[in-house]
Amino acid sequence: MHTGKLNLADFILNKKTSALLKKLSRFFARITVCSVVLGLCLSLILIPQQILADEEQALPKNWKKISLKKMKLRVIDGDTFDADFNRNGRFSNPQERVRLLYVDTPELKKSHKGKDPKLGLPAKGFLRTVLSKTNAVLWVDPKNKTGNYGRLLAVLEVKGHNINLALIKRGHSYFKKRYAWPDGFKTYALAEAYAFEKHLGIWSYRKSRKRYLLRLREEGKTVYSTRNPYFVAKIQNAEVIDLSKYNGRFVRVQGKIKKIQQLRKGAQLMFLKHKRMKKGLPVISFENQRNWLGLQKIRKGDLLQIEGFATLYKKKQWQIKLHRAVLLN
């Protein structure tokens, strides 16, 4: 007996309804494909903006500003590019070659640092992308204009964003202090730690993490991250620290200067007060470091925070090899 009600089985078996469902299925499939394509196109447009979205800190103050608007540019690698400052259509090396400060991206050609195109090409691509923006500018320190080979040292700004910082935060580079120290040291150090902890760029593979940590160690510095095996997070009291417990690790200590001893070739030993070391806890530094850190006028009794690797000098004397120092007076 027919009740006038259509059950689910009857509905599915209905030929006309089945044909309609097929048409609707094809229609929605086309919409889905179009949505995916549209999303991809929008992502290609938005990616450069997203890349720069959170880079708004640590831009230099009172430096010379150079606009790159409508200027011919040529990217060499992730930290170097040529700019036609003379606007004659040609590039003069090194007068028109720019080396970005605080960064050192993987090499694309053979060098003493090795060759790493797998990680270097993304860095180069990132720099090319941001330089394609119309309002890129350079910031140059009048007191420190050029570095090795006469290249112009600069911070690159695009739409108010610090690209040097962005290179570090995306893992395209580690935080380099060879040519100068930024005023916003903490901002750069945090950006490096972020990339390290998120396994980005040079920090994304086990082998590359190990390689770059060793390179940093050879240069007397490291990543300020609790996930870095070389980094000791806790700040120690200089009067009681036992450096033998931290052999080959990066420590931070606070203490007062007991004595300063000048050595040859600009080297200096600074002794911090220590309860068990008669002379004090030795900290070795060099003239260029002290100049960068503004420590030329430190004296006995000053309170400092010292940061660097704990090392055993000539298998006899434990000391800290200075990387950074902050006057706490």
CA 229 to CA 217: how far, in whole Å? 12
CA 77 to CA 68: how far, in whole Å? 18
pLDDT value at 6 more than 50: no
CA 284 to CA 265: how far, in whole Å? 13
Q: What is the mean pLDDT of residues 287-315?
A: 94
Give counts: helices (H), strands (E), the chain: 7, 15
- Is 239 in a helix, a strand, or coil? coil
Least Cα distance to 114 among 13, 10, 215 occurs for 215
**Amino acid 227: pLDDT:** 97
Domain 64-218 CATH assignment equals 2.40.160.40: no
More confident call, 14 vs 143: 143
Please report which confidence band the pLDDT of residue 37 belongs to, taking 50, 70 and 90 as the band edges.
very low
Q: What is the CATH number of domain 231-327?
A: 2.40.50.140
Residues 41-53 have pLDDT tens digits of: 333 333 344 444 5
**Amino acid 75: pLDDT:** 97
What percent of the chain clears pLDDT 70, i.e. is strictly above it? 81
Domain boundaries defined on the chain: 64-218, 231-327
pLDDT value at 11 more than 50: no
DSSP string for 257-301: EEEEEE-GGG-EEEEE--SS-SS-EEEEE-HHHHHHHT-TT--TT
Please report which confidence band the pLDDT of residue 92 belongs to, taking 50, 70 and 90 as the band edges.
confident
More confident call, 27 vs 154: 154
**Lookup: tokens for 236:** 């120690």
